Structure 1
């Protein structure tokens, strides 16, 4: 039972692995991620986390010897936007979800969203090589 109390949630482990990948300048193997984390995780645990992240499309991988080297599919901002799209896609009434989301925005966020929708780009659109619209990575609805 004590062992169960020491276990970290999968989301926390995934976040740690992603942070290590974002900090790296090149793709990392599971062993390299393990060393970068330096928190005592077994290599098999790191490999499992990377495999799950790959299955979710959060990381990409390339052959590296007999295994794989992993890199993030996008930066942290892109991942957050992707998660927002995924949540929006879960509800059939997109209009209501968006209306409630927008109604809860601060004045500053509302102005930023208006600027982005008008194509002004705001101070930092957070997109790389795109307008931010249509780059949903999803259904394109």
Structure 2
């Protein structure tokens, strides 16, 4: 999975934060509160995100209404999976990754491992 570009990430961030369907107009209006971006540019990038599978869409009258097809966490996990597979030695990749975690992140990892262990239990 390729990492999102800057505008792609900015658009997806709105869908993930809002957790609801939205139109290109809503996205443009929100981005334009912070910086100028053209409606056509956001339309193009949103359409690309749809074709890449990051968004779903349905017609509402004359406009498309988009929704994130997966959560931010699922996207981040897919990036991590790709990173793990990028190395020749998954154990070495995991070790390097874990060595870079702070105490809060390590605690979260331990909790996640316990959860997975319980799910796959006896």
Matched, 1:37 2:28: no
| Offset of residue 117 of structure 1 | 0.8
Match of 1:112 in 2: 108
Are 2:15 and 1:12 equivalent residues in the alignment? no
1:71 and 2:70 correspond: no
Q: Relative to 1, partners in 2 of residues 1:78 and 1:40: Cα closer, same or farther, differing over 3 Å? A: same
Q: 2 CA distance for matches of 1:47 and 1:17?
A: 10
Measure how far apart 1:51 and its partner are: 2.0
Match runs of 1:1-141 below 5 Å: 11-24=5-18, 26-38=20-32, 39-119=35-115
Q: How far 1:28 moved relative to its partner?
A: 1.5
RMSD: 2.9
TM-score, normalised relative to structure 1: 0.61
The whole-number CA distance in structure 1 between the counterparts of 2:10 and 2:58 is 21
After TM superposition, give the deviation of residue 86 of structure 1 in Å. 2.6
Task: Extract structure 1 runs of 4+ deviating beyond 6 A.
Answer: none
Structure with greater contact order relative to length (CA < 8 Å, sep ≥ 6): 2
The answer for unaligned runs of 5 or more in structure 1 is 1-9, 122-130, 134-141
Aligned to 1:128: none
**Structure 2: stretches of 5+ with no match in the other structure:** none
* More helix as a share of residues: 2
Aligned residues: 114
